[in-house]
């Protein structure tokens, strides 16, 4: 108990600057990753479950390098255009970075519902959204191209895809925790964290306001599209994008894409 108290005291009062950053474009599955990390660390270190989405707290309280999360200037609320994204990543020179990505079309669909149902920064059609210079395909592709070109700037760099968490959750989570500084993670901890972070459990937790965070809170309990945890599936963009929309995004990806925006099935 005293050790736990000391870890919490350190997390609350010893505000070191973050040494590790989890970076992603909005709606690429970062909240799911944070739950997986937080639940694993809370189980290993006897930390309060309600705090698992506070990544800085949970990492410091686990005696790991303080880990922060950021969209690195791509936040939808800020409404920056693709031309306003900053390619200079020198601020991460002495840091470690986890970069998370997701299929561009799935990201765009999820981002559209977030923009229209949760934060209400866009009121057009999804076809208009994906072509917008402030929210669309060009912005996502620019964001990841900049990071692809800057991937050697941080002192440590780990890239993962949302699809990796779906297809190989045990291996992917274990690798992430190792990158964060966890020396050994018992398999039963990994399994418990994955079970806890299942789609149905997170959907229920969001509806019940289970965590001490506004991150996972539905804005309209009667509208499933207003939830932070919406569908959580791969390749569901075809339900919402027409053939012209899909062709537009694919053409843009062929023109401006990079390794980080390629499909996980491409082998890259």
Q: What is the token pair recorded at 189?
A: 């901890």
Residue 77 and residue 121 in contact, taking contact as beta carbons nearer than 8 Å: yes
CA gap 112, 27 in Å, rounded: 9
CA gap 253, 243 in Å, rounded: 15
Strand partners, 24: 100
Tell me, what's the pLDDT at 175?
A: 97
Tell me, what's the pLDDT at 226?
A: 38
Residue 97 CB contacts under 8 Å (≥ 6 apart), including other chains: 20, 21, 23, 154, 156, 157, 158
Q: What is the pLDDT along the chain (268 residues), one digit of tens a residue?
A: 445 545 554 545 456 789 999 999 999 999 999 999 999 999 999 999 989 999 999 999 999 999 999 999 999 999 999 999 999 999 999 999 999 999 999 999 999 999 999 899 999 999 999 999 999 999 999 999 999 999 999 999 999 999 999 999 999 999 999 999 999 999 999 999 999 988 777 766 555 555 555 554 554 444 444 344 445 567 789 999 999 999 999 999 999 999 999 876 543 3
CA 183 to chain centre: 23
CA angle 232, 144, 65 (to 5 degrees): 80
Residue 25 and residue 101 in contact, taking contact as beta carbons nearer than 8 Å: yes
Max Cα–Cα distance, the chain, nearest Å: 61
Q: What is the token pair recorded at 169?
A: 């959750």
CA gap 258, 260 in Å, rounded: 5
Helix, coil or strand: residue 196: helix
Residue 82 CB contacts under 8 Å (≥ 6 apart), including other chains: 133, 134, 138, 139, 141, 142, 143
Tell me, what's the pLDDT at 267?
A: 38
Specify the CATH number of the domain 2-266.
Answer: 3.40.50.300
Strand partners, 99: 23, 159
Tell me, what's the pLDDT at 224?
A: 47
């Amino acid at each position: 108990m005293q050790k736990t108290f000391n870890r919490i005291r350190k997390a609350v009062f010893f505000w070191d600057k973050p040494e590790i950053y989890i970076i992603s474009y909005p709606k690429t599955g970062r909240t799911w990753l944070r739950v997986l990390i937080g639940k694993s660390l809370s189980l290993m270190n006897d930390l309060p479950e309600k705090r698992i989405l506070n990544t800085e707290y949970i990492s410091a309280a686990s005696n790991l390098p303080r880990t922060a999360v950021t969209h690195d200037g791509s936040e939808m609320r800020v409404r920056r255009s693709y031309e306003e994204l900053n390619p200079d990543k020198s601020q991460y020179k002495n840091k470690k970075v986890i970069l998370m990505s997701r299929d561009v079309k799935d990201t765009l669909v999820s981002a559209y519902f977030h923009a229209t149902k949760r934060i209400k920064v866009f009121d057009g059609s999804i076809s208009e959204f994906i072509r917008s210079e402030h929210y669309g395909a060009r912005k996502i592709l620019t964001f990841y191209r900049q990071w692809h070109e800057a991937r050697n700037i941080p002192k440590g760099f780990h890239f993962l895809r949302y699809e990796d968490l779906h297809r190989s959750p045990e291996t992917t989570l274990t690798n992430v925790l190792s990158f964060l500084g966890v020396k050994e993670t018992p398999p039963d901890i990994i399994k418990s964290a994955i079970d806890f972070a299942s789609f149905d459990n997170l959907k229920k937790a969001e509806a019940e306001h289970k965590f001490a965070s506004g991150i996972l809170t539905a804005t309209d309990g009667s509208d499933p599209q207003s939830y932070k945890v919406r569908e959580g599936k791969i390749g569901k963009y075809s339900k919402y994008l027409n053939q012209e929309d899909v062709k537009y995004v694919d053409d843009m990806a062929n023109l401006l894409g990079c390794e980080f925006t390629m499909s996980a099935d491409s082998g890259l």
